[in-house]
Amino acid sequence: MTVRTLLPETSIPGIVGHPWSAKADKIQSVTGILLGCFLLAHLHFESSILLGKEAFYQVVQILEGGMFSETGHGFPVVTKVFSVFILIVVMLHAAVALRRFPAQLGQWRALRRHMNGINHKDSHAWFWQLVTGFILFFLAPVHVFTMITNPEIGPHLSAERVYHANAWLLYALLLPAVVIHAMIGLYRVAVKWGLTANRRGLRKIIKVLIIYLIVIGSLSLLSYMIIGSDLALPVQPFVPE
C-alpha cells in the first residue's frame, strides 16, 4: 500500500516554486510563439524580392494598407507602429527569458558537465537557444529600432539600406541566429506543452525549416545586394510601370 502524506507548503521552503514563475513561463511561451510565427511570415514577405522588384513592392503596399489610400500607396507609419509593438513583445520575451540564463561561471561549468555527461539532443538544443538568444539580445533591437526610425521599405529603399548603409552585415549575423533560436524555441514549446510525443519527427521538421529559412533569407540578401549595387546615389524609390 502506498501512503501519501501531504505536507503544508510552508514546511518545505525552496521546493514550492513562486507563483510568478509559472506566469513568467506562460509569458515566455506566448511571446515566443508570437515572435516565431511573426518570423515565419516576415522572412516569406521579405523574400518576395526573389520574385522581382514589382512583387516585393506590391507585398509592401498591401502590408502598409495601400488599399485605404487614393494613390494605392501604403502608409509607412503602419510599419512604424507595428515595429513599436514588436519591440515591446521582444523586450517582454527577453525580460522573462533572462531568469533562465546561467549567471555565474559555476553554472556554465555545471551546464557543460551536464552536456558532456548525457548526450541528450534536447539539452544541446537548449544550449544553442541560449547562445543565439544572447546574440539576439544585442542584434534584434538594432534592426527593430531602424524600422521605427526609418520605416521606408521598398525594392530600392531596402536595397539602399542593405547595400549602401551596410545593413547586410547586421542581417548576415541576425539571420542564422534568429532562425535557429526561433525554430528551436517553437520545438521546445511544442514538447513542453505536450503538443506532440514524436520528438524525433518534430526535430526533423525543425531542421528542414532551419535550412529552408536560412537559404531563402540568404538568397534575398544577395538580391538586395545586387539591386543596391546597381543603384546610383541618391537612391530614388521604385515606381512600378
Select 162 or 206, whichever has its Cβ closest to ligand HEM. Answer: 162
The answer to the question of whether 93 is labelled as a binding residue is yes
Binding-site size for ligand HEM (CB under 6 A) equals: 25
Q: Which residue's C-alpha cell is 521552503? A: 13
Q: Does 217 bind ligand HEM (CB under 6 A)?
A: yes
220 binds ligand HEM (CB under 6 A): yes
Q: Which is nearer to ligand HEM, 15 or 53 (CB)?
A: 53
Range 182-211, binding ligand HEM (CB under 6 A): none
* Per-residue mark of binding to ligand HEM, 145-184 (x: CB under 6 A): --x-----x----x--xx----x---x--xx--x------
SS (H, E, C) the chain: CCCCCCCCHHHCCCCCCCHHHHHHHHHHHHHHHHHHHHHHHHHHHHHHHHHCHHHHHHHHHHHCCHHHCCCCCCCHHHHHHHHHHHHHHHHHHHHHHHHHCCCCHHHHHHHHHHHHHCCCHHHHHHHHHHHHHHHHHHHHHHHHHHHHHCCCCCHHHHHHHHHHCCHHHHHHHHHHHHHHHHHHHHHHHHHHCCCCCCHHHHHHHHHHHHHHHHHHHHHHHHHHHHHHHHCCCCCCCCCCC
156 known ligand binder? no
Contact flags string 34-63 toward ligand HEM, x per CB under 6 A = -----x--x---x-----------------
Return the residue nearest ligand HEM (CB atom).
Answer: 158
Least distance (Å) from ligand HEM to the CB of residue 24? 21
Q: Looking at 14-22, 117-125, 135-143, 194-202, which segment touches ligand HEM (CB under 6 A)?
A: 135-143
CA distance 223 to 197: 40
Distance (Å, whole) CA 50 – CA 35: 23
Q: Is 157 in contact with 228 (CB distance < 8 Å)?
A: no
Q: Is 73 labelled a binding residue?
A: no
126 touching ligand HEM, by CB under 6 A = no
Give the one residue of 97, 180, 221, 227 binding ligand HEM; rule: CB under 6 A.
Answer: 221
- Residue of 48, 61, 83, 132 interacting with ligand HEM (CB under 6 A): 83
Distance of CA 217 to the CA centre of its chain: 13
- Residue numbers in the known binding site for heme b are 42, 93, 143, 181
Residues that bind ligand HEM (CB under 6 A): 39, 42, 46, 79, 82-83, 86, 90, 136, 140, 143-144, 147, 153, 158, 161-162, 167, 171, 174-175, 178, 217, 220-221
